[in-house]
């Protein structure tokens, strides 16, 4: 039996900080993204994603496909993630008009499904005879995975089986191809593994679990699998060569999964895969697979993760590199990778209740994930650097990927809907339960109805306020995580101080009838120092308060490069113009006078100043300017 499982999507009604973000996604992000997917947004990168489904349906009916297929080979997944976001939104805020829009889009998808269950617009419109012949590059299983997740969310939100039946049929087609007919292959881009686990839990179909197990067990057992596949075809999507040095690591295919020691390759593929591994391990009681997950977890969070919770340090392959290679100015830290890290952490919590998993979920969410979207919900970062210098960032060939300003959209638009679906489904990651225990993994204001009969209302200004009140009703136990960053905490139950012991970062409280529980965390701002093994951050300092990492922007400080922080001084809480109701941090610093000489024999002239830092997730919302997390 699993220790705990996520609450259902309809069990959490957000308020406070999370509620405001969910409202932003519901009212702004989802309608905006639909316009983009329908090619109706002005001055925005063309998507054509919904038109691809319409045209695929025409092909299957023997009609003229019009303007055919446009976009990335995985363009269908943009629609899937939008459907998932919109479905989660319906669980939070019922909207008949949005539900009608979903029905219309799902109708296009259903019409694009082949008689045998196959569903992928790229191959239906463009290369029908080539399906399942290029798992290495073509993302067929990745797209199917995202559509399965969308189908599960839509059914949970509406009770309608339209998309669910489409994807059950599609899953049966995949099962037939790989299990019944025995065709070799694993996903070139993992994702379907965690999706199959969702479908299994929703339907109870054992073949879905078997298919997930098959993909996990087969991965890496034949390192030449994709080479053999390439030898049997004469075409390519990207021009990538499975014989290239590093390709096996890039796709996590160099060895069987239970033998993995370190996080390698494309960061998003990696954490999607690890999430599927951990999810299956919890369901099947696979201790060997769980042991591999623990090693991979330690590899990421102890040696290959940015202080912001960003992962994947290089633009070359959007990938992990080696231990302690975490350059701030050329960081990749894709938004989707931090979303995937949250998935991985939540699945590890299914296996073992340890606060470190929720600590990392929180760090990734409040910093990198939220930084991936502008405060108005209309612009997005794919890449999340920890240092930006206008004129170099986004310009120099080494820094082209590190943009100083968020674009409206991308041709490869995986990140914007990923952020949206995570925010709308935040409650699933914040709360869990089993027969008699309710778990508070993340501090999430709002109301929760657990299936075990407990109800809870969380009231807090978190992540800016450090006082949390839980009003609990029912009979059972409540497990509340105390974040690892809080050096101390106070706890009251019905106004009386209590001192339960921490167990792996959680305190357990018996509940009978109704209780008021007050948790006070230590929100003292503090300095964070980098390991001297990190070349570009050694000897430098950053600021943190609660779960929030802070950064310094030029709009508040002038040239950030010219600042040197006095780490022996205190840190004050202040505010900045244009960012109301947000705690900024002020520290003493020295500013070097400008020097136009490339090199000089004279020591810099300095003057004492006050430097101001804002939460990292808010950077880049006040125009193009310098930004740094790590400071001298």
Q: What is the mean pLDDT of residues 128-156?
A: 97
Residue 46 has a pLDDT of 85
User: For 247-251, 260-264, 462-466, 606-610, which range has the lowest pLDDT when averaged over its residues?
Assistant: 247-251
Q: Are 414 and 336 in contact (CB under 8 A)?
A: yes
Residue with tokens 């219309």: 104
Q: Say yes or no to pLDDT of 1 above 50.
A: no
Residue 411 has a pLDDT of 61
Percentage of residues in the chain having pLDDT higher than 70: 99
Name the CATH superfamily housing domain 433-521: Golgi alpha-mannosidase II (2.60.40.1180)
Q: What is the mean pLDDT of residues 269-283?
A: 97
Residue 409 has a pLDDT of 63
With residue 166 as reference, give the H or E element that holds it.
helix 162-175
- Going by C-alpha positions, the residue among 284, 396, 264 that lies closest to residue 351 is 284
Q: Say yes or no to pLDDT of 517 above 90.
A: yes
Compute CA distances 25 → 19, 32, 90, 375, 421, whole Å.
Answer: 10, 9, 12, 11, 9
Which tens digits make up the pLDDT trace of 402-428?
988 877 765 655 778 889 999 999 999
Q: Are 336 and 309 in contact (CB under 8 A)?
A: no
Residue 412 has a pLDDT of 57
Q: Say yes or no to pLDDT of 60 above 90.
A: yes
Q: Say yes or no to pLDDT of 524 above 70.
A: yes
Which tens digits make up the pLDDT trace of 179-225?
999 999 999 999 999 999 999 999 999 999 999 999 999 999 999 99
Both tokens of residue 142?
């990745």
Which tens digits make up the pLDDT trace of 282-323?
999 999 999 999 999 999 999 999 999 999 999 999 999 999
Q: Say yes or no to pLDDT of 482 above 90.
A: yes
Q: pTM surpassing 0.75?
A: yes
Domain ranges of the chain: 433-521, 526-628
Q: Say yes or no to pLDDT of 3 above 80.
A: no
**Coil vs helix vs strand at 203:** helix
Please give the mean pLDDT across all residues of the chain: 95
Q: Say yes or no to pLDDT of 81 above 80.
A: yes
> Who has greater pLDDT, 5 or 328?
328
- Going by C-alpha positions, the residue among 560, 555, 566, 469 that lies closest to residue 519 is 469
Q: Say yes or no to pLDDT of 176 above 50.
A: yes
Q: Say yes or no to pLDDT of 2 above 60.
A: no
CA 402-420-351 angle, 5° bins = 95
Which tens digits make up the pLDDT trace of 331-342?
999 999 999 999
Q: Say yes or no to pLDDT of 171 above 50.
A: yes
Q: Strands 467-481, 437-440: parallel, antiparallel or unpaired by DSSP?
A: parallel
Q: Which residues are catalytic?
A: 318, 414
């Amino acid at each position: 039996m699993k220790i705990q499982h996520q609450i259902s999507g309809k069990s959490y009604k957000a308020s406070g900080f999370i509620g405001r973000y969910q409202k932003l996604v519901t009212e702004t992000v989802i309608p905006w993204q639909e316009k983009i997917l329908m090619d109706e947004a002005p001055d925005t990168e063309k998507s054509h994603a919904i038109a691809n489904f319409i045209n695929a349906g025409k092909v299957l009916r023997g009609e003229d496909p019009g303007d055919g297929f446009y976009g990335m080979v995985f363009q269908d997944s943009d629609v899937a993630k939008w459907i998932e976001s919109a479905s989660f939104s319906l669980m939070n805020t019922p909207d008949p008009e949005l539900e009608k829009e979903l029905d219309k889009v799902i109708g296009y998808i259903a019409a694009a499904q082949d008689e045998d269950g196959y569903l992928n617009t790229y191959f239906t419109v463009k290369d029908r005879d080539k399906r399942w012949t290029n798992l290495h590059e073509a993302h067929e299983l990745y797209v199917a995975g995202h559509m399965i997740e969308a189908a599960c969310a839509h059914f949970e939100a509406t009770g309608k089986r339209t998309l669910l039946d489409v994807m059950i049929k599609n899953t049966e087609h995949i099962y037939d191809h790989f299990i019944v007919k025995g065709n070799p292959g694993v996903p070139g881009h993992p994702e379907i593994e965690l999706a199959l686990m969702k479908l299994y839990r929703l339907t109870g179909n054992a073949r879905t679990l078997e298919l997930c197990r098959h993909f996990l067990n087969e991965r890496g057992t034949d390192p030449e699998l994709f080479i053999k596949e390439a030898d049997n075809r004469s075409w390519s999507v990207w021009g990538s060569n499975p014989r290239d040095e590093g390709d096996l690591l890039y796709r996590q295919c160099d060895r069987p999964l239970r033998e993995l020691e370190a996080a390698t390759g494309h960061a998003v593929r990696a954490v999607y895969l690890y999430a599927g591994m951990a999810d299956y391990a919890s369901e099947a009681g696979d201790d060997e697979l769980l042991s591999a997950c623990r090693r991979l977890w330690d590899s990421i969070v102890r040696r290959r993760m940015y202080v912001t919770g960003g992962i994947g340090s290089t633009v070359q392959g959007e990938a992990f590199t080696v231990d302690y290679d975490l350059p701030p100015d050329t960081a990749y830290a894709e938004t989707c990778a931090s979303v995937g890290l949250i998935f991985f952490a939540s699945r590890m919590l299914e296996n073992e209740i340890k606060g470190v998993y929720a600590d990392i979920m929180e760090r990734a969410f409040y910093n990198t994930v939220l930084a991936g979207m502008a405060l108005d919900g209309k612009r997005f970062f794919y890449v999340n650097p920890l240092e930006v210098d206008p004129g170099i960032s986004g310009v120099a060939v080494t820094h082209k990927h590190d943009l100083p300003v968020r674009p409206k959209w991308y041709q490869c638009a995986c990140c914007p809907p990923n952020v949206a679906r995570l925010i709308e489904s935040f409650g699933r990651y914040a709360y869990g339960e089993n027969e008699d225990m309710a778990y508070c993994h993340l501090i999430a204001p709002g109301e929760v109805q657990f299936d075990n009969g407990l109800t809870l209302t969380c009231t807090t200004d978190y992540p800016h306020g450090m006082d949390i009140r839980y009003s609990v009703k029912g009979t059972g136990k409540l497990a509340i995580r105390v974040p690892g960053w809080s050096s101390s905490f106070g706890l009251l139950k019905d106004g009386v101080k209590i001192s339960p012991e921490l167990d792996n970062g959680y305190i357990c409280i018996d509940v009978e009838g109704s209780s008021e529980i007050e948790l006070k965390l230590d929100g003292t701002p503090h300095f964070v120092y980098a390991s001297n093994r990190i070349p570009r951050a050694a000897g430098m300092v950053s600021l943190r308060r609660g779960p929030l990492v802070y950064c310094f922007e030029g709009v508040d400080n002038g040239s950030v490069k010219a600042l040197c922080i006095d780490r022996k001084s205190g840190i004050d809480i202040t505010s900045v113009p244009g960012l109301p109701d947000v705690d900024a941090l002020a520290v003493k610093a020295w500013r070097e006078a400008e020097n136009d000489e490339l090199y000089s024999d004279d020591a810099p002239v300095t003057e004492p100043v006050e430097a101001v830092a804002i939460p990292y997730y808010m950077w880049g919302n006040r125009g193009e300017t310098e930004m740094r997390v790590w400071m001298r």
